[in-house]
């Protein structure tokens, strides 16, 4: 079956520009996570949704980062007024479990801010 | 918060040899430990996981062991093949105060299997 998909795969933004990253989780998965992965590092947690409810956003680096999942399926991570330090791979993962076990990751969106 | 340390950062083995990657965690409340394989340009792929009520789990050439007392867990790959070459991440699950949960990842191990 289809896995987690993310779009765009690559995004180049000028500093100060707003960007929107999309995640299509596996159908029926209740849990959705966003992670940020810097070059040569492990993924770092950003935020977590259970269905449409955002249960935790403690990992979002600043108030320029905003995520939503209005209908409990597709999710969008928005970054306003991008800065160079926002350059990273943004990974989305979904899980069929409310406990967050068995997370399946998408291919990621590589964001480069110039 | 949780801290996961992973060693070694790079590992080179000959084809057919075994590879072992070790991780330690700090939060004694962590109770789920997955391992992911990440190939260049791709997202992490879940390869095996273990829960805290189990000491060892095997899946063909891959095994994971967990020592809750010492708060460390290890990935063992036997009969390594060139296609095992990738970056491997360990992770520990933490329960968040809002009722959710997250994975805290180690820093990764670059495994290279040489012919």
pLDDT tens readout for residues A31-79:
999 999 999 999 999 999 999 999 999 999 999 999 999 999 999 999 9
From CA A69, how far away is CA A32, in angstroms rounded?
9
User: Pick from B6, B42, B93: which is nearest to A100 by CB?
Assistant: B93
Q: Which DSSP category does A64 fall into?
A: T
Inter-chain touch B100–A108, beta carbons under 8 Å:
no
Inter-chain touch A42–B106, beta carbons under 8 Å:
yes
Q: Which residues of B touch A100 (CB under 8 A)?
A: 93, 100-103
pLDDT of residue B98: 63
Sign of CA dihedral A23, A103, B100, B70: negative
From CA A40, how far away is CA B10, in angstroms rounded?
12
When mean pLDDT is compared over B48-52, B85-89, B102-106, the highest value belongs to: B85-89
pLDDT of residue B52: 84
B108/chain A closest Cα distance in angstroms: 6
pLDDT of residue B99: 62
Tens-digit pLDDT profile for residues A4-31: 999 999 999 999 999 999 999 999 999 9
Mean pLDDT of chain B: 93
pLDDT over threshold 90, residue B42: yes
């Amino acid at each position: 079956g289809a896995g987690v998909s993310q779009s765009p795969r690559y995004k180049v933004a000028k500093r100060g520009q707003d960007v929107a990253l999309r995640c299509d989780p596996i159908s029926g998965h209740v849990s959705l996570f966003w992670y940020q992965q810097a070059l040569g590092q492990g993924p770092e947690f950003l935020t977590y949704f259970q269905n449409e409810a955002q249960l935790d956003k403690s990992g979002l680096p600043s108030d320029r980062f905003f995520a939503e999942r209005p209908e409990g399926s597709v999710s969008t991570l928005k970054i306003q007024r991008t800065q160079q330090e926002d350059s990273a791979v943004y990974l989305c993962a979904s899980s069929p479990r409310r406990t967050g076990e068995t997370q399946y990751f998408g291919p990621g969106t590589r964001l480069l801010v110039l | 918060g949780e801290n996961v340390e992973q060693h070694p950062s790079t590992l080179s083995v000959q084809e057919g040899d075994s590879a072992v990657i070790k991780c330690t965690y700090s939060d004694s409340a962590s109770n789920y430990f997955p391992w992911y394989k990440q190939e260049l340009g791709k997202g992490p792929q879940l390869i095996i996981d273990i829960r805290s009520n189990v000491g060892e789990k095997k899946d063909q050439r891959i095994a994971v062991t967990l020592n809750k007392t010492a708060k460390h867990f290890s990935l063992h790959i036997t009969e390594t093949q060139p296609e095992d070459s990738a970056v491997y991440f360990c992770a520990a699950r933490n329960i968040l105060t809002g009722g959710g949960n997250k994975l805290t990842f180690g820093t990764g191990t670059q495994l290279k299997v040489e012919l």
